[in-house]
Structure 1
Amino acid sequence: MNTQDAKRVLETALICAQQPLPLRELRLLFDQQLGADTLRTLLDEIARDWQGRGVELVTLASGWRFQSRPEMQPYLARLQPEKPPRYSRAVMETLAIIAYRQPVTRGDIEDIRGVTVSTQVIRQLEERGWVEVIGHREAPGRPALYATTRQFLDDLGLGGLDGLPPLDAPGALPQALESPLQAALAQQLPLLDASSETHAAAVPDASAPAATTEPSSAHGADHTPSQP
């Protein structure tokens, strides 16, 4: 198979796929006859071929996928004219703390926010696939340690946690994260009632040291998603 035919196969698979495709799955298209380095070269060429178009080929935590460019979003939004519900403060602050201070326990989140964290908030973030338990802290009760997932990074269009933007201000997610997260939450999560919460502390600086942990899951001590 020549290079052009191989690129056509890759394009077709990526356009038709429902989820990002990692290199190990893309190799199956060619019966394992093309190595990872060759595939990366072909994927880079495809990405260049699609420059200047409304969609782009990107690499994420879980693999490669085609997606619309950010500047196309205002036009695509016209296909869904109904205004989506706002996400709750409880959901976004909890997610921000986990993303920027992971791994953290529920108690850590409550200490930072200054209010009790609803079980419903944690459960729905888990059901959405953005948060998971990666281990337990060696402390009385062995509380669960929460961290973000590959799906969280995929929904943000990021390849790793190092791609998270710096916090714009205490107590708020970076503007670059708000729009994609709000859109995803509007599609997947019901609006949560945060009226019972009277105050919240600031989300900590991302540079602050995280709590000492001893994970017990397969993620190990380093739970940063690996590159595809």
Structure 2
Amino acid sequence: MSDLDQQQVGSPETGEDAETFGLSVRIAEALLFASATPLKLDDLAKSLPAGIDAQAVVDHLVDHYSTRGVNLRPLAGGYAFRTSADLGYLLQADQPAPRRLSRAALEVLAIIAYHQPVTRAEIEEIRGVSTAKGTLDNLLEAGWVRLRGRRRSPGRPVTFGTTPNFLDHFGLDRIDDLPGLEELQGVNLGKTRISRDLSIPLPDDDPDLREDEDPLDDLFAPLDPGDPDPPA
């Protein structure tokens, strides 16, 4: 029996239940290692023996890997193994260069994250300047922003929201883990262009459409029909 099976934190101490829990830990460990994206508890539970508490299994793994070279972390509403923060420098040379966004793209991303669902016109109103279509295209290509629906207003403009990839990339479990306005200004994110009077709402990335949104009926329609793109 491995060290992981023997260290049954929060598991039955003896008997068949302990063996079932140990098996569940091994199953969960294998699935989490093999997954390229964070696994949600509900999805993990489907592969565990009946009657096993998936949260207890995950809590056991979190504790077991807390001092290892990789840690099990809550990310994007699920769990994923990530390199321990103090060892990340060892892998930097083998990692592709991180995607670098322009200042405008960072501002747009922050507005979408906090104000979603939000249209391009609303983004421009908050920023006080025009937003090039290429800026939004870059965020869509990165997988951090998605098209949600169409606003029930003249022109039926597309609404934008963030994705689970956004949470995963920035090390967030939930959208309300985002920092507050003072922290954003501390790193100069949008400090120069966003009004000082801007109030940041409680972010909400609920995937369900709002009452003022309709489903996307044509993914290839212009983002803002009749509204020409400003120069990049």
2:189 aligned with 1:173: yes
Residue of structure 2 in register with 1:26 after alignment: 44
What root-mean-square deviation, in Å, do the aligned CA atoms of Structure 1 and Structure 2 show? Answer: 3.1
Residue of structure 1 in register with 2:166 after alignment: 152
Is the 8 Å Cα contact of residues 114 and 203 (structure 2) preserved in structure 1? no
Amino acid at match of 1:145: T
Segments of structure 1 that go 5 or more residues without pairing to the other structure are 175-198, 219-228
Is the 8 Å Cα contact of residues 137 and 213 (structure 1) preserved in structure 2? no
Any idea what SS the aligned residue of 1:205 has? coil
Comparing 132-141 with 157-166, greater Cα deviation is found at: 132-141
2:112 aligned with 1:87: no
Q: Report the alpha carbon displacement of residue 108 of structure 1 after superposing the two structures with TM.
A: 1.3
Whole-angstrom CA distance in 1 between matches of 2:83 and 2:138: 27
Are residues 151 and 85 of structure 1, via their aligned partners in 2, closer, same or farther at CA, if it must alter by over 3 Å? closer
Whole-angstrom CA distance in 1 between matches of 2:127 and 2:202: 16
Comparing 163-172 with 119-128, greater Cα deviation is found at: 163-172
Is the 8 Å Cα contact of residues 58 and 65 (structure 1) preserved in structure 2? yes
TM-score by length of 2: 0.69
Q: Deviations over 1:96-138 (max 9, x none)?
A: 1111222211011112222221111112212222112223323
Are residues 153 and 114 of structure 1, via their aligned partners in 2, closer, same or farther at CA, if it must alter by over 3 Å? same
TM-score by length of 1: 0.70
Residue of structure 2 in register with 1:128 after alignment: 142
Report % sequence identity: 34
Are residues 47 and 170 of structure 1, via their aligned partners in 2, closer, same or farther at CA, if it must alter by over 3 Å? closer
Any idea what SS the aligned residue of 1:2 has? helix
Is the 8 Å Cα contact of residues 62 and 151 (structure 1) preserved in structure 2? no
Residue of structure 2 in register with 1:185 after alignment: none
Whole-angstrom CA distance in 2 between matches of 1:86 and 1:104: 23
2:56 aligned with 1:41: yes
Residue of structure 1 in register with 2:21 after alignment: 3
2:106 aligned with 1:108: no
Is the 8 Å Cα contact of residues 62 and 71 (structure 2) preserved in structure 1? yes
